[in-house]
Amino acid sequence: MAGATIRDVARRAEVSVASVSRALNNLANVHPDTRARVLAAAKELGYVPHAGARSLSLARTHAIGVVLPDLHGEFFSELVRGLDREASARGYHLLLSNIHADHDHATKALRTMHGRVDGLVVMAPYAGSVAIEDLLPPTLPTVMINTPRAHDGVSLRIDNRAGAEAMARHLAALGRKRIVHITGPDGNTDAQERLDGFRAALPKDIDLVVVLGDFTEPSGEAAIARLHDDGVAFDAVFAGNDLMAVGVLRALHQTGRAVPQDVAVCGFDDVPLAGYLSLTTIRVHMTAVGARAAARLIDALEGCDTGAADEWITPELVVRATTVTES
């Protein structure tokens, strides 16, 4: 018997809808007999509360909206897993909305969140998507992930600078003197911060060559090929992300240079592939970021407002065989 409503239950249990509601929500002040009759009736009817109606009258949906760009698989799934873990542990659902390039579509998707979710977790790493902030229903509590611009809600930031600095120190400690950095695409905040941090932490006696990449593997490969053709010498490459580092490894292999003896190679992110290739990198624990984002949002929703508006997640240096030889 599908679609049974609270009134059906009330009729069958021969009580009022109010009693049914109270019994089903474990409120006090319900006679045990009444409660039993209600429970029985509900079970017999296969009654399932209508969550939509419930939210409407409670003004509470127990759902959080997740707005993500169309990003790389690894990140996406890890982030969502972290969000989901925390959310479901605290009784919340996730309403997903990937934002593609299409502006109108995005606007509509965002507006449609109003009245379906209690708050939003938004990730928008590209400076170009600035508008997103303005599209958000301003009434919804929001946690931003990695969004540079100031806003009124909570913001979780990955400390790209700290990660890049750690890498700079690592390479410096290894005695590398002519280092190439391949950047991410223009306008990408992560890319910019990684470059800034790296440059800032590099001792003055080390040469830094910066070349433009776009976070894809081919761009890493092409960058090295170009340097090779130009006869540029270097003994280390810090790629703006792991994918490009993979391209770098490939290019170096083709030109017959030994890693790490001739050239040390490292990336950023620690995607699963990095482990297989023994790539030295900076680990960004996206599962933790997701869990933290959900936790902060739910805290805010439930009134227990913890911590600072800006929270930084520090990534971790993972040293593997592309920068140091095992011994």
* Interacting residues with a second copy (CB under 8 A): 2-3, 46, 48-56, 61-63, 70, 73-74, 76-78, 80-81, 84-85, 88, 93-98, 100, 105, 109, 111-116, 137-139, 246, 272-273, 276-277
Closest distance between DNA and the C-beta of residue 86, in Å? 24
The binder of 227, among a second copy, DNA, none, by C-beta within 5 to 8 A per type, is none
**Alpha-carbon dihedral 252, 257, 260, 263, rounded to 10 degrees:** -80
Point out which span in 51-59, 144-152, 290-298, 310-318 binds DNA (CB under 7 A).
51-59
- Among a second copy, DNA, none, what binds residue 288 when CB lies within 5 to 8 Å by partner kind? none
Q: Which does 304 bind (CB under 5 to 8 A by kind): a second copy, DNA, none?
A: none
- Minimum Å distance from CB 304 to DNA? 19
Q: Which of 97, 115, 127, 278 binds DNA (CB under 7 A)?
A: 115
Shortest Å distance, C-beta 283 to a second copy: 15
Closest by Cα among 251, 168, 214, 177 to 72: 214
15 near DNA (CB under 7 A): yes
By CB under 7 A, tell whether 17 contacts DNA: yes
Least distance (Å) from a second copy to the CB of residue 74? 7
Among 22, 157, 181, 194, binds DNA (CB under 7 A): 22
Q: How far is the CB of 301 from DNA (least distance, A)?
A: 16
Q: Taking contact as CB under 7 A, which single stretch among the options 9-17, 203-211, 277-285, 297-305 is the one that binds DNA?
A: 9-17
Q: Which of residues 205-234 bind DNA (CB under 7 A)?
A: none
Question: How many whole angstroms separate alpha carbon 168 and alpha carbon 191?
Answer: 15
Please report how close the Cβ of residue 194 comes to a second copy at its closest, in angstroms: 23
Write the CA distances from 133 to 97, 120, 290, 301, integer angstroms. 15, 11, 19, 19
Helix 32-45 to helix 6-13 angle, to the nearest 10 degrees?
Answer: 120
Binding site partner of 254, from a second copy, DNA, none, Cβ cut-off 5-8 A by kind: none
Least Cβ distance, residue 192 to a second copy (angstroms): 26
Q: C-beta of 3: minimal distance to DNA in Å?
A: 6
Of these, 24, 172, 206, 319, which contacts DNA (CB under 7 A)? 24
Other beta carbons within 10 Å of 250: 15
Residue 22 interacts with which of a second copy, DNA, none, CB < 5 to 8 Å by class = DNA
Q: Which residue has the tokens 């932490």?
A: 201
Interface region with DNA, contact rule CB under 7 A, candidates 8-16, 67-75, 217-225, 242-250: 8-16
Rounded CA separation 165/143 (Å): 26
| Residue 54 lies near DNA (rule: CB under 7 A) | yes
Instruction: Tell me: does residue 59 bind DNA (CB under 7 A).
Output: yes
Binding region for DNA (CB under 7 A): 3, 5-7, 14-19, 21-22, 24-25, 27-31, 33-35, 47, 49-50, 53-54, 56-59, 115
